[in-house]
Chains A and B, each alone.
Chain A
Amino acid sequence: MLSVALRRWSAWAPGIEGAEAWRAWSAAPAPIAAEGTPDARFLPAMLRRRCSPLSRAMLHVAFDACPEAERAAVRTVFASRHGENKESFPLFAGIAAREPLSPTRFTMTVHNVQAGLFSIAAGNRQASSSLAGEEDTFPTAFLEALAHLEREPGRSVLLVVGDVPIAPLFQPLIPEPASSYALALLLARDGEGTKLGFEPTGERRRPGPEPRLAWPQGLELVRWLHDGEPSLLLGERRGWRFRRL
């Protein structure tokens, strides 16, 4: 089992923000709302204006979880199952209608847009990954964060995962409930923090007509961090085990 120190975390969902609100949600977890955006008060105003709802949510938790003095120094992993699907949809539709494409809108819908914005806003020149892993985007992103720690054990990794509802026309195509959320975890190879074990179990699972969880897998980790259980099994397509060490 791989081990890692969780140094800090920050989560956001519509109406749920701050340590107290997440403690309350974790005691009585419920599905997450689809609509809403964080105030993103940590972000410079100019950057905030350029952000899509997803970028705003992901950068909000990224800045909250990572102290200012470390923002230029961390490696980063940004993960989203759907990315800027909703923002891209009008571009796909515009292509289908043979309308001209806006270069700015094209640039701001690439999957690594949050990584680029964070790098610019934080002056961060370190290695950065952006990824997606279908239903299991959160645990695969956690693994990619550990892959960065493998490459450079002395440097912390900021893992940021988030999603917002996809384009309405596509929503009936997937069973996942539409929700908006973002989670940032500041991880280190060792040192101060909550010591976690993590492993892919190698088990193949099949997504059912309903997801196993009524809320995003990343937020299930938040819930588990508040309860006393020794381990947590996640996954729709694979098994992924977290353990308290």
Chain B
Amino acid sequence: MPDPRPCRLAALGMRNALGRDRHEIWPRLLAGDQSRFTLDRERVPGRALWFGAVQGPLPAVPRSLVAYDCRNNAMTLAALEPIEDALRDAVRAVGAARVGVVMGTSTSGVADAEEALAHERLHGRLDPRFAYTQLEFGGVAGFVAELLQLGGPAYTLSTACSSGARALASARSLLALGVCDAVIAGATDTLCGLTTNGFSSLQAVSEELVNPMSVNRKGLTLGEGSAVFLVLREPGGIQLLGVGESSEAHHMSAPDPEGLGAETAMREALADAGVTPEEVAYLNLHGTGTPLNDSMESAAVARVLGTALPCSSTKSLVGHTLGAAGAIEAGFCWMMLAEAEAGEIALPPHVWDGQRDPALPPIRLAEKGERARAGRRALLLTNSFGFGGNNCTLLLGRELDSGGGAC
């Protein structure tokens, strides 16, 4: 029976500490390459911290879009450039009025606003290059819509660390509703004083590199980046098959220690796709490396998926990219499906010190070089759990014997 809500993730652009596009990122992801983290003594006064910062110049925002010219939008542009031809082809095919944009972020142009205010302290006025459009959350989607001259709906979801996953969930619904024939969906976050100092003040940031699921874990390592997908209402290729969502009714800055919200999100993603836990080949963990996240998440994973399913947290390779994490990690799953062959899926390793926490259920953490067997359908899950108790789990899949290219 054909899927009544086909949702093809037809193209992926990505930029983060691991590289400039999927071809550069994929081998480093599989190698568990941590060499791009940098130690910084400036961002948080009095602390030397590791960051998954994107090095080197970002593409220039076109002069006609100067009101959107901030680092966050330049990061989106960096992710989008490798697939810009595919995006423009889709816009031509369905018409600009039928293309929507749903982006996620937790920062928008906060870094530029901080610089504008530092300028104001020195000179008594805001830096004249600063525009409010750079700071407003809605501008993240607005920038993409203006860049591609789109007439469809454009908005930005900001539900902290689940923003990027949620953007893909909304894209699928806009296609199913019939208000768009293509949606550009993804998320971008960039390092700024607010989030680096904010998470540090919450004592959530580790002085050492993030060490998820370890008995020695001390907190997260922050990163930045962007992932952008072209999402189409058509079967085939890599599909977004399931979405699970929950709130926690618990606490503004800490997850429910029992992991009930995480459990609901995973169960609903499976139910939405009509998939049993045994059919899933891999889970990309939220895996922030904070004591509480990892204990509640591993407990929820063990309850829903058991302890034999290979899992990994890729935050020890790119850092926690906050609002972008859900899209970037869905992007890693997309790459795994795109690269899958002969019923086998190469897994990103879980990079850590290997010291299990005896208090956590023994969920299976993927080793370097590990491959998962997949049946006729390769099915992968990715978890995103946000501040304020906002959870979203996505299920991506691909028919492996359908012939033809995946993407």
Mark A residues whose CB is within 8 Å of B.
Answer: 2, 72, 76, 81-83, 85, 88, 91-93, 95-98, 100-103, 106-108, 110-113, 115-117, 119-120, 122-134, 136-137, 140-141, 143-144, 146-148, 150-151, 166, 169-170, 173-174, 199-204, 237-238
Contacts and interface: CB of A to CB of B under 8 A. Distances in A.
B192 to A, nearest CB: 8
Contacts of A83: 137, 158
Of B137, B149, B170, B246, most buried by chain A (CB within 10 Å of CB) is B137
A122 B155 CA distance: 27
A116 B246 contact: no
A106 B198 contact: yes
Contact of A151 (B96, B139, B157, B173): B173
A88 B194 contact: yes
A120 B118 contact: no
A125 B247 contact: yes
Contacts of B177: 2, 146-147, 150
B117 A93 contact: yes
A184 to B, nearest CB: 17
A85 B117 CA distance: 14
Interface in B263-292: 264
Nearest to B256: A125
B252 A134 contact: no
B179 A2 contact: yes
Given A102-B201, A127-B245, A130-B158, 18 more contacts: A81-B136, A83-B158, A97-B121, A106-B194, A106-B201, A110-B388, A132-B138, A143-B153, A144-B157, A144-B170, A169-B117, A170-B132, A173-B132, A200-B153, A201-B97, A202-B98, A237-B154, A238-B152
Interface in B146-192: 149-160, 166, 169-170, 173-174, 176-177, 179, 192
Contacts of B169: 151
A150 B159 contact: no
Interface in B223-253: 243, 245-253
Given A95-B193, A101-B197, A120-B252, A140 B390 contact: no
B120 interface: yes
Given A93-B117, A238-B153, A199 B179 contact: yes
Given A81-B138, A133-B138, A107 B113 contact: no
A100 B200 CA distance: 10
Contacts of A133: 138, 141-142, 153-156
Contact of A200 (B179, B247, B387): B179
Nearest to B122: A96
Nearest to B104: A131
Nearest to B137: A132
Nearest to B46: A100
A140 B151 contact: no
Interface of B: 45, 95-98, 106, 110, 113-115, 117-118, 120-121, 126, 130-133, 135-139, 141-142, 145, 149-160, 166, 169-170, 173-174, 176-177, 179, 192-194, 197-198, 200-203, 243, 245-253, 260-261, 264, 386-390
A10 B157 CA distance: 24
A162 to B, nearest CB: 14
A29 B247 CA distance: 37
A103 B98 contact: no
Of B98, B155, B173, B245, most buried by chain A (CB within 10 Å of CB) is B155
A14 B250 CA distance: 31
Nearest to A202: B97
B156 A103 contact: no
Contacts of B197: 95, 100-101, 106
A109 to B, nearest CB: 8
B179 A123 contact: no
A141 B252 CA distance: 23
A169 B125 CA distance: 9
Contact of B249 (A85, A120, A137, A204): A120
A25 B280 CA distance: 56
Closest 4 CB pairs between A and B?
A202-B97, A116-B388, A95-B193, A127-B245
A141 B158 CA distance: 12
Contacts of B253: 103, 107
A169 B113 CA distance: 11
A113 B114 contact: no
Given A125-B246, A203-B97, A92 B141 contact: no
Contact of B390 (A82, A88, A116, A134): A116
26 contacts: A95-B192, A98-B45, A102-B201, A108-B252, A110-B387, A111-B160, A112-B159, A116-B247, A116-B252, A116-B387, A119-B248, A125-B261, A128-B159, A128-B245, A128-B390, A133-B138, A133-B142, A133-B156, A141-B155, A143-B153, A144-B157, A147-B177, A151-B173, A173-B126, A173-B130, A201-B97
